[in-house]
Amino acid sequence: MKKVIGAAAGILFAVFGIAILGLLISLTFGALGKLFPGNFTNQLWGLVLFDIAAMIWALAFVFKSESTGQYALSAIGFLAAFVGTLGMVAVEVMLSGQTYVEVSDWVGQWLVYGFVIMTALHSALLYAHHGAAPDIHQKINVGIARGEIVTEAIKQATQSLDVQKAMLAQMITQDIVDQVKRDLGMMRGQIIDLPALPVTDPHTSDEKQKPAFSFLNMLPVNWWAKKNGHKTYESVVPAVAAAANGTEEAEAGTTPPAPFRNEPTDQPS
């Protein structure tokens, strides 16, 4: 029995909720009919700012909020839509033809003002809710910090240029003067007289290189060569081939290599 009553209670509560929402939507739609008489499209779109907006912001608060800012904005949107819905219901009740309460002129005026205010408020809250997302919030903060760094760098560069202004202007001035002189043909080449540097000729140097030490110099053959000195040999065959061919060697009076006999000029006694 308790299960049947529990199930019936759930169904009745759901029906009750739907009925309340239907009542609010109906009264709000009637108030919007007085604001937009004869314009059914605007009356339907007007529901988005009140009854539908309250449900959407409630769902966004529960399922679509990830940061503190988004939770706060969703709560503000829900409260604004709910209060606006109650206001539209009150306007519809007072202006529906009842005779118990005297209606002042400001009621109709605030109906107009309220619609404009709710439009601006929900639009701003929607953009702010997207901007308060963690990834978007991070990009915005990093972009602001980068902009501050660039601004400071530009400021420091400007100060540095102010300090070096005279020197930089002098450099540009010299370039302009040189360009004018070149255009007028006043630039002439300059001869640079550099001192000559001494050059040592290895063929005419008086310094003689000493022979390097070698164990071969200690052999008996080398001893005999040092004792008898260098021997010269003479060629016995004239350079006939070079003269016949008319080469440069013949003209210079030199003799090409020819067979020779190893007869030393100085015979040992």
Alpha carbon distance 116, 2 (integer Å)? 50
Q: Which helix (H) or strand (E) holds 149?
A: helix 134-163
Task: Answer whether 58's CB lies under 8 Å from 78's CB.
Answer: yes
Task: Answer whether 80's CB lies under 8 Å from 121's CB.
Answer: yes
Taking only the tens place, the pLDDT of each residue in 191-246 is 555 666 666 655 554 554 555 555 555 555 555 555 555 554 444 444 444 444 45
Alpha carbon distance 165, 172 (integer Å)? 11
Taking only the tens place, the pLDDT of each residue in 108-152 is 899 999 999 999 999 999 999 998 999 988 898 899 999 999 999
Taking only the tens place, the pLDDT of each residue in 21-39 is 999 999 999 999 999 998 9
Taking only the tens place, the pLDDT of each residue in 92-115 is 999 888 888 888 888 889 999 999
45 or 231: which carries more pLDDT confidence? 45
- Report the pLDDT value the prediction gives residue 12, as an integer from 0 to 100: 94
Domain map (residue ranges) of the chain? 9-132, 134-175
Could you tell me the pLDDT band of residue 74, with boundaries at 50, 70 and 90? very high
Angle at 154 between CA 150 and CA 156, to 5 degrees: 115
The Cα-based distances of 144 to 125, 138, 140, 150 in angstroms read: 22, 10, 6, 10
Report DSSP state, residue 219: S
Residue 168 confidence (pLDDT) above 50:
yes
The 3-class SS string of 2-35 reads HHHHHHHHHHHHHHHHHHHHHHHHHHHHHHHHHH
Residue 54 confidence (pLDDT) above 90:
yes
